[in-house]
Structure formats: C-alpha cells, structure tokens
Structure 1
Amino acid sequence: MKITDRLKTDRNLWLCTLRPDGSAHVTPVWFVHLGDTFWIGSGERNVKVRNVLRDPRVSLALEDGDHPIVAEGRARVHGGALREDVLAALAAKYDGWDAGKEIAPFGPRVLLEVPIGRWLLKGTAQ
C-alpha cells in the first residue's frame, strides 16, 4: 500500500512530544494528513498540548512496524475558531467525530498542526 493511501486510511498515529525534563511522552492520536501536514485534535489542557507549547519538536509514526512511516516536525497549536476544513476531514475519517467539541476535563479544543520537517522512514524497515 502506498504511503498516501495509508495516511488517508490508517486510524491511529503515535505522537511523541517532549516533557519539560526532556523525556518522551508518546500517545496514540487520531489524525488527518492534508498536503504535507498532519492535523490532530486535542484539548488545550492535555499533556501533549502543554508539551508542544514548551517545545514544538515532535515525532510521528503510523502503527505498522513492518512497513514503518515515521516523520519529524515542529507542531503549532491553534485554538479559538478552528479550521473548518480540518474539522470536516476529521469527521469524514472518524465516522462523524466532532473534533471541535470540548471534552471535560481537557478544556477547549485545539488543533495541532505538524508540517513535516523530514521523513525518517517511508514504508520500508531498515
């Protein structure tokens, strides 16, 4: 399967952010890939969001270790009025999920934008 197909259809992505002490925080997330950018919905009080606000460097990996897709980038947090095209893409991919709807106790919804800085693995294990 081509990378572009997997980025459209794979359900989960592992997001690695950095805690204040420099240790890794790894969590599975739902995502869409538009252009050369990953978009992830979250609550503004989630650990991953707090980590990105301190240090925007992130790594991302799809779940299939036999055909790994791994990338790095610098995340940006978008709050307030969220991009409708991204919310629509998330809803289409995840059976109507409203990524803009607040979930207690995580606070108002935000979108993490992660433009790809570089691809580390593109489907072939090394």
Structure 2
Amino acid sequence: MKTERILQIAAAFGALAVVFGAFGAHALETLLLETGRLDTFETAVSYHFYHSLALLLLGALTHLFPEKKRLITSAWFFIAGILIFSGSLYVLCLSQVTWLGAITPLGGLAFILGWVLLFFSFGKGNQS
C-alpha cells in the first residue's frame, strides 16, 4: 500500500469517526440510553478515532521511512482493528445482536499487533 493511500484511508476513517460520534450523540442518544449501549458506542468511536490518528501517523512515517515495510503491515492491522473492533460495536449497539461482542476482541488484537509492529519498525539496526 502506498503512503498516499494510507493517508486517504486515515482521512476517511477520521471523518467517519466524527460522523459516528455526532450521530451517536444526537440522533441515537435516546436509543443508546434506552438500551444501555451509550458507553459501548462511545468506546467504539474513541478507538475508531485514536486509530484513525495512528493511521495518519503511519502515513507520515511511511513517507519518511519507505524502507520500513512493517509500517505498512501495521497500517493494515489498524484498518482491520477499526473495521472489526469499532465496526462490531457499532452494529452491536444498533442491532442488539449480542454475539457480535464475541468478535470484538479480534479487532482489539489487531490494534495490539499494529502497535507492536510499529514498535519493532524502529528497533536498533532494523531495516524492515
């Protein structure tokens, strides 16, 4: 994946995080309060936004360090994490399909792997 694509995805995910946050705070607030899912929705938006910013950082880092291929893999894990972690929580909050909570940890694992790969991208003597 090219630097420009990572930055575009980061921007799109960032915009969606703002949209979902506003939608949850206004249009969905009554529903989320009635179902007891407001905190869950806020968690989904928070992690969505944090990792959109992390993708933005990765876009900049891949531009500065194109030889570090782990940065691209890290970006893929953050993308997967947003889709699986935040996505499953959004759907859970709106549909009340509780089994979706079972896949949410896979998104969390993707986030962790993304951060670990970012860490190891800058180890001593690391060129990958």
More helix by share: 2
Instruction: Give the structure-2-normalised TM-score.
Output: 0.22
Instruction: Give the structure-1-normalised TM-score.
Output: 0.22
Look at both structures and tell me which one has the larger radius of gyration over its CA atoms: 2
Of the two structures, which has the highest relative contact order with CA contacts closer than 8 Å and spacing of 6 or more?
1
